Structure 1
Amino acid sequence: MTSAELARPSRKQRVRTLWISDVHLGTRDCQAEHLSHFLKGYHADRIYLVGDIIDGWKLRGGMYWPQAHTNVIRRLLTMSKRGTEVIYVTGNHDEFLRRYSKLILGNIQLVDEAVHVTADGRHLLVIHGDQFDVITRYHRWLAFLGDSAYEFTLTLNRWLNHWRARYGYGYWSLSAYLKHKVKTAVSFISDFEEAIAHECVKRELHGVVCGHIHHAEIRQVGGVEYLNCGDWVESCTALIEHWDGSIELYRLADAQAREAQLKALKVAEPA
């Protein structure tokens, strides 16, 4: 079994809602195979694509689109045909789609933001989050420069995990580790969370589901529920709403660890 297959639950699980963001299809660091296997494991009433699903910034510089990226699109279309409502919330890397906001094609909607009502009645703003990033909004040249530096760390990340896989180790994100350790990055994340939480207070909403900063999280910020999907570039995370309204943070690394434990237990069982 490959590490990508370990991302998939053993049975297709029915859930109320899925949220994924920052897939960055069209880039070499997109973990498309992991995402496809994850999606195959769930039947959801609704899935939110919370921005930066397609990386328009990278596609401007040349086409990189392997079969694995097409498979993600096909999987989402299949889910839509089978009854899942697909809501595509645009982000800054796929901002070229914002001119088509409010477009509805069958079971697929294209929007700039949405409000999701959970099974237990909480109202959550669903928005990519670039609107609350000062650099992205007002200093686009810095955003492009930062994107290039980030891409370099992802290249290191890709090579590191290539060798980890060869020696039987699970996925680990170097770039996510550095983000947690660098003081300025930690400060940026905190400022972002506070800004987006303040917007929820203004709108009298219970919380927010967002992406953008590639930092998955569920916690209380400024009196509101803050939920970040993370990404499918470095950390491979998603949010899952169950039928009672509770929301779970899925991490590929945790799923791989659980699968490894189960395999070890089966090997240890007497014949």
Structure 2
Amino acid sequence: MFLSDIHLGTKGCKAEYLLEFLKYHDADTIYLVGDIVDGWRLQKGWYWPQAHNDVVQKMLRKVRKGATMYYVTGNHDEFLRDYLGSHLGGIEVVNEVIHEDANGKKYLVVHGDAYDGVILNAKWLARLGDWAYETALKLNNLYNFCRRKLGFGYWSLSAYLKLKVKNAVKFMTDFEDILAQEARKRELDGVICGHIHHAQIKMIDEVVYMNDGDWVESCTALVENIDGTFEIINWAEERKAMLNLDKDIKKSKNKEEEKDMETLVA
């Protein structure tokens, strides 16, 4: 299982959704692919509700039950790069790691910020972009609050708007190409990353590029199945389908009970 960009410590983090996801999904090996804790935001002001603490406890519980877990550092949790090689509660802190799938193929697992020109060359601009992104997420939360009141499920307005901006799309494409080149240079079969909050699996010149998305906008995870195939799980959509199924089951039960009552009265 590959999870990234959870951003614990921010109001945009969908911790409750992640806790639900972890309740229904498990794995022998779990990769936390960067930006799990948002050090940038916590430096400005402490925000740590119970749900965020519950996520940490859930992760540690999985390790205690036998799961192997790697914490791949990102730019928002770069403070952990001072502890590379350490084990925190049984979770190994690394800057990158190689994952070998069930079919023997090897993938570079890395957050991706090291291949982002903005992060490398203009960190102040990255922080300005982070502020603008936080503002967009606030609008996203307000939008989804209104959707819930109207009986609709979660939908990421911020992700939709981002994909509509030509420069953002170009940045994503460049980012993907650079990471694919890095995997090819290392003679690996592919790359698994996070950073840009856009879940995707695709081929780039015979290299498999996979991004596990985020838990701020899309609520997605990348998983490897027993047969070595990979898939992206969109928990917001899967959760909605489960809730609809529960509603249908309840309606069916209510109808059966009504029929039983009518038979009993007759």
Using the size of structure 1 for normalisation, the TM-score is: 0.91
Runs of 4+ in 1 over 3 A off after TM superposition: none
Contact 1:84 1:107 in 2 (8 A): no
- Classify the secondary structure of the residue corresponding to 1:23: coil
Distance in 2 between residues matched to 1:261 and 1:59, nearest whole Å: 37
Does residue 19 (structure 1) correspond to residue 28 (structure 2)? The answer is: no
Which of 41, 53, 69 does residue 58 from structure 1 map onto?
41
Which of 4, 12, 15 does residue 32 from structure 1 map onto?
15
Contact 1:26 1:58 in 2 (8 A): yes
Which of 202, 214, 223 does residue 240 from structure 1 map onto?
223
Distance in 1 between residues matched to 2:15 and 2:26, nearest whole Å: 19
Q: Which moved more, 1:37-46 or 1:212-221?
A: 37-46
Uncovered stretches (5+) of structure 2, i.e. residues with no partner: 257-266
Does residue 155 (structure 1) correspond to residue 138 (structure 2)? The answer is: yes
- Identity in percent: 52
Contact 1:20 1:49 in 2 (8 A): yes
Partner residue, 1:211: 194
Q: 1:105 to 1:68 in 2, by over 3 A?
A: closer
Write out aligned runs for 1:43-192 (5 A): 43-105=26-88, 107-192=90-175
Q: How many residues are matched?
A: 254
**Residue 106 (structure 1) shift:** 6.0
- The amino acid that maps onto 1:256 is R
- Classify the secondary structure of the residue corresponding to 2:239: helix
- Classify the secondary structure of the residue corresponding to 1:184: helix
- Classify the secondary structure of the residue corresponding to 1:235: coil
**Residue 107 (structure 1) shift:** 3.3
Partner residue, 2:262: none
Distance in 2 between residues matched to 1:109 and 1:257, nearest whole Å: 34
Q: Give the structure with the larger helix fraction.
A: 2
Partner residue, 2:233: 250
- The amino acid that maps onto 1:140 is K
- Classify the secondary structure of the residue corresponding to 1:44: coil
Distance in 2 between residues matched to 1:191 and 1:64, nearest whole Å: 34
Distance in 1 between residues matched to 2:22 and 2:121, nearest whole Å: 35
Using the size of structure 2 for normalisation, the TM-score is: 0.92
Contact 2:33 2:71 in 1 (8 A): yes
Distance in 2 between residues matched to 1:260 and 1:34, nearest whole Å: 13
CA RMSD of aligned residues (A): 1.3
**Residue 131 (structure 1) shift:** 0.7
Partner residue, 1:13: none
**Residue 261 (structure 1) shift:** 4.1
Contact 2:60 2:89 in 1 (8 A): no
1:36-76 deviation digits (Å, cap 9, x = unpaired): 11112123101000000000001111100000100000000
Q: 1:105 to 1:94 in 2, by over 3 A?
A: closer
Q: Which moved more, 1:220-229 or 1:18-27?
A: 220-229
Distance in 2 between residues matched to 1:264 and 1:64, nearest whole Å: 35
1:187-242 deviation digits (Å, cap 9, x = unpaired): 00000000000000000100111000000101112321111010000110001111
Contact 1:194 1:222 in 2 (8 A): no
Say which one has the larger Rg: 2
